[in-house]
Amino acid sequence: MRRRAVLAEVVRFEVRVDVYLGSCRKGEERGRQECLARLIEDMLDIGAHRLVMDSRDQRDPLDRITIRNALKKRAPDHEFVYEHMDSAGDPLLWLADIAAWCHGAGGDWARRIAPVIGSVTRLDWP
């Protein structure tokens, strides 16, 4: 019951969450980095300047390499800021986690979160 109430509040905020799905056939980390590279491209396309990601501690450097490579290839002079934070440090990270979980769970959860989902990008999908 509490999950449904929290989800109803998330939908009421009228936020938009874009979902990136990558295949883990070649490894979970590779799938994440492919999604991250595509996210950076899409963010540059819409003129975004800041990305905040949930920290994964010792794996954060892998994200930084992917972001730097994507920026170097696409927009070397772009003033793009990115940082990792503990999920407790930015409530907007909670919204993304809630939306991704509901979307991935499918069924009634996916139906309830549908107003929040802006787009779903599938990379390397069978």
- The amino acid occupying position 5 is A
**Domains in the chain: boundaries:** 2-123
pLDDT, tens only, 104-116: 999 999 999 999 9
Q: Which of 31, 95, 94 is nearest to 63 (CA)?
A: 31
Mean pLDDT, rounded, of the chain: 91
What is the per-residue pLDDT for 125?
61
Q: Please state the pTM of the whole predicted model.
A: 0.87
pLDDT, tens only, 60-82: 999 999 999 999 988 777 789 99
